[in-house]
Amino acid sequence: MKPSDLVFDLDGVIWVGDHEIDDAGRILTRAAEAGINLLFATNNASRTRANLVSEIKSITGFEADPTKVISSAMAGAALLDTNDRSCLVVAGPGVTEAVESVGVVVSDDWRTADAVIAGFSRDLAYPQLRDATLAIRRGARFIATNTDSTFPAPDGQWPGAGATVAFLVEATGTRPLVAGKPNRAIRELISQRLVGDRVAVVGDRPETDLALAKAGKWLAVLALSGVTADATDVPDRYKPDHIIESVAALPDLFGF
């Protein structure tokens, strides 16, 4: 049965690095023309929403609705509250933008930061980790955009936000509040944008994408184009409803 909504992961499902996976743009266009509501939910918090929309367009040719693009950066910012006047960001520009969008000041002073948000950054340096450690040990709230240990790149698996978070957990003895898939903060952002009750999540990582589907009581579709190459490696608690080699199989699977 054709779903009302398709929720796509990006890295490992729509692309790897800057290479489109199996004509994904054509599949997205076909799904949209069939009247399916398309959402894009990524745990990669390094990119701004505009960057993500632009990247989807440049890699696949598909023009995504900016309001349907959701990142763990946005979910992390949603966890800030009125007591968080300033936030130390140990992540990419996507988190900085998201924090500022909710009216919280991005601080570079660990002495006054009310919160710390950690995520993925290609430019991560020791001084950032040092300052985040000091802020958390001083009492700042600790938020992680996600805890993905790796993400798929053309030459293999690169360290993900989870590696940064693990450093800070070890240095502070404090566990963070996690925002990204499969946690409630990003699940709520997704739910606000759904148009029906026949929802399918397409992802490559069991503990995030498939777990998200299970938590939302949505269909879980495992794509073997990213971090999971063998479906037998998936733990029983994350077993998908469907397994596909890539997004190219979706029209046959769902009849659009």
Look up residue 247 and give its DSSP letter.
G
Per residue in 106-117, pLDDT tens?
Answer: 999 999 999 999
Contact 81, 102 (CB under 8 A): no
Residue ending a domain, choose from 178, 194, 211: 178
Cα 217 from Cα 224, distance rounded (Å): 21
Per residue in 116-130, pLDDT tens?
Answer: 999 999 999 999 999
The SS3 of residue 256 is coil
Please give the residue range of the domain that contains residue 228: 5-72+181-254
Residue ending a domain, choose from 178, 207, 231: 178
Residues 110 and 194 in one domain: no
Residues 167 and 235 in one domain: no
Cα 29 from Cα 62, distance rounded (Å): 7
Residues 153 and 186 in one domain: no
Mean pLDDT for the stretch of residues 236-254: 98
Number of domains in the chain: 2
Q: Where residue 38 sits, what CATH number does that domain have?
A: 3.40.50.1000
Mean pLDDT for the stretch of residues 27-47: 96
DSSP labels, 131-157:
HHHHHHHHT-EEEES---SEEEETTEE
Residue ending a domain, choose from 178, 198, 229: 178
Residues 190 and 65 in one domain: yes
Cα 27 from Cα 55, distance rounded (Å): 16
N- to C-terminal Cα distance for the chain?
9
Per residue in 140-196, pLDDT tens?
Answer: 999 999 999 987 788 988 999 999 999 999 999 999 999 999 999 999 999 999 999
Residues 28 and 92 in one domain: no
Residues 54 and 93 in one domain: no
| pLDDT range class, residue 238, cuts 50, 70, 90 | very high
Mean pLDDT of the chain: 96
Looking only at the bridges linking them, the beta strands covering 199-203 and 219-223 are: parallel
Residues 134 and 164 in one domain: yes
Per residue in 83-93, pLDDT tens?
Answer: 999 999 999 99
The SS3 of residue 217 is coil
Look up residue 208 and give its DSSP letter.
I
Residues 170 and 93 in one domain: yes
Mean pLDDT for the stretch of residues 218-234: 96
What percentage of the chain has pLDDT greater than the value 90?
Answer: 95
Strands (E), 18-75: 19-20, 37-42, 69-71
The position carrying tokens 């290479």 is 19
Residues 164 and 216 in one domain: no
Contact 216, 199 (CB under 8 A): yes
DSSP labels, 73-126:
HHHHHHT--TT--EEEEES-HHHHHHHHHTTPEEE--TTT-SEEEE---TT--H
Look up residue 49 and give its DSSP letter.
H
Q: What is the 3-state secondary structure (H, E, C) of 176-199?
A: CEECCCCCHHHHHHHHCCCCCCCE
Residues 57 and 108 in one domain: no
Residues 165 and 228 in one domain: no
Residues 174 and 192 in one domain: no
